Amino acid sequence: MANADTYVASFFGSSRYFLHAQLATWQNWFFTPAVKLTKLGPYDYLSPVVIRVLGGNPGAFTLQGTNTYIIGSGTERIIIDTGEGATGYHDNLLAALKEHHVSSITDILLTHWHPDHTGGVHSIRRTFPAARVWKRARPGGEDQYDRNGPFQNIEDGQCFATSGATLRALFSPGHADDHMSFILEEEGNAFSGDNVLGEGTSVFEDFHQYMASLQRLRDCKPRLIYPSHGPVIEDAMDRVDAYIKHRMDREAQILKAMQDAPGDDFTIREVTAKVYEGYPYFAQLAAAHNTNSQMQKLCKDGKIMLSCEAGLFTGILHLF
């Protein structure tokens, strides 16, 4: 059990963007010292066509750091995600490329816009100026990624081929509205981005989309999952099923919390405190993000009504 100082230090330690990006895995993190996370090397050879490079940005919301994956078997390769641009990351990436006799990166695929996945783009482009950058455009035209420079839009089902490997893009919004996963056709394995993590569970902006994306990933029947944070997931289908069940259980708990409470008005914070009773305050703050998304979904389902007063969502139990 981590003491208060441990998790507070972890919470504020390394993330410059913590509330809008990776609020992931707080359940594990706040109750588990960092040393219990699986230890990963600065770069690891995972399969004949997959190398993982750590982003050098460990923290409360990034676990061991953000993974970059080097894909292929030739001298030119594709990479997935770029870390946040932390000190040492670029050197590790170059060392991994050199060790495997890679002379250039042709394409940079970004799973989504969050800064811990995109912050390394600048340094990689400086070293490999011909590399094409790919990301799904965000709906509505506004994209916080834009300050990093131009990118080409990834279409659902689009394939990216390099020697020894073909990646098929799978549009999978929910954690972020531009989120893309990738299927490595030759292995039948998946790069899940932040939708499924190596340890703990993830957060999402849109619960309905997130659940549909988990199902899309499940439909691909991956044998292994290479997540954007944490170690390789060996029991891929079981893990996806556990994620789906976990969220459905939370939904039932949210409804029960509202039914059991006296009165009929609840703020998101109050519902979160009931569902996540016993969790530290900071963990509940992170959980409120998910509770909010799940209550939005319950509202769409007609099970509750939501109103927004003074900037705070209030869920009102609907008779059903």
Beta carbon nearer to Zn ion, 114 or 289? 114
Minimum distance, C-beta of residue 155 to Zn ion, in the bound complex (Å): 21
Quote the least distance from Cβ 172 to Zn ion, whole Å: 12
Using an 8 Å Cβ cutoff, are 313 and 267 in contact? yes
Which whole-number Å values give the CA distances from 148 to 38, 112, 118, 121, 167, in the listed order? Answer: 31, 13, 8, 7, 24
For Zn ion, which residue of 52, 114, 239, 247 counts as binding (CB under 5 A)?
Answer: 114
Q: Which stretch binds Zn ion (CB under 5 A): 94-102, 109-117, 205-213, 297-305?
A: 109-117
Q: Which is nearer to Zn ion, 84 or 194 (CB)?
A: 194
84 binds Zn ion (CB under 5 A): no
- Rounded least distance, CB 267 to Zn ion, Å: 26
Distance of closest approach, residue 228 Cβ to Zn ion, in angstroms: 7
Which helix or strand (DSSP H or E) is residue 77 part of? strand 76-80
From residue 15 to residue 44, what is the string marking binding to Zn ion with x (rule CB under 5 A)?
-------x----------------------
Stretch that binds Zn ion, among 112-120, 123-131, 140-148, 270-278 (CB under 5 A): 112-120
Given the complex with Zn ion, which of 114 and 125 has the nearer CB atom?
A: 114
Q: Which is nearer to Zn ion, 175 or 239 (CB)?
A: 175
Least distance in Å: CB of 258 to Zn ion?
29
Tell me the number of residues near Zn ion by CB under 5 A: 3
Nearest Cα to Cα of residue 116 among 144, 76, 136: 144
Asked if residues 56 and 64 have their Cβ atoms less than 8 Å apart, the reply is: no
Non-local (6+) Cβ contacts of 78 within 8 A are: 70, 71, 72, 105, 106, 107, 108, 109, 160, 162, 165, 167
Distance CA 155, CA 133 (A): 13
Radius of gyration (C-alpha) of the chain in whole angstroms: 20
Q: What sign for the dihedral angle of Cα 18, 21, 26, 29?
A: negative
Question: How open is the CA angle 65-90-196, to the nearest 5 degrees?
Answer: 30
CA distances for 30 relative to 73, 148, 203, angstroms: 39, 32, 15
Which residues between 180 and 199 bind Zn ion (CB under 5 A)? 194
- Closest-by-Cβ residue to Zn ion is 114
Cα–Cα distance for residue pair 256/127, rounded to 1 Å: 54
Question: CB of residue 176 vs Zn ion: minimum separation in angstroms?
Answer: 6
Q: Which residues bind Zn ion (CB under 5 A)?
A: 22, 114, 194
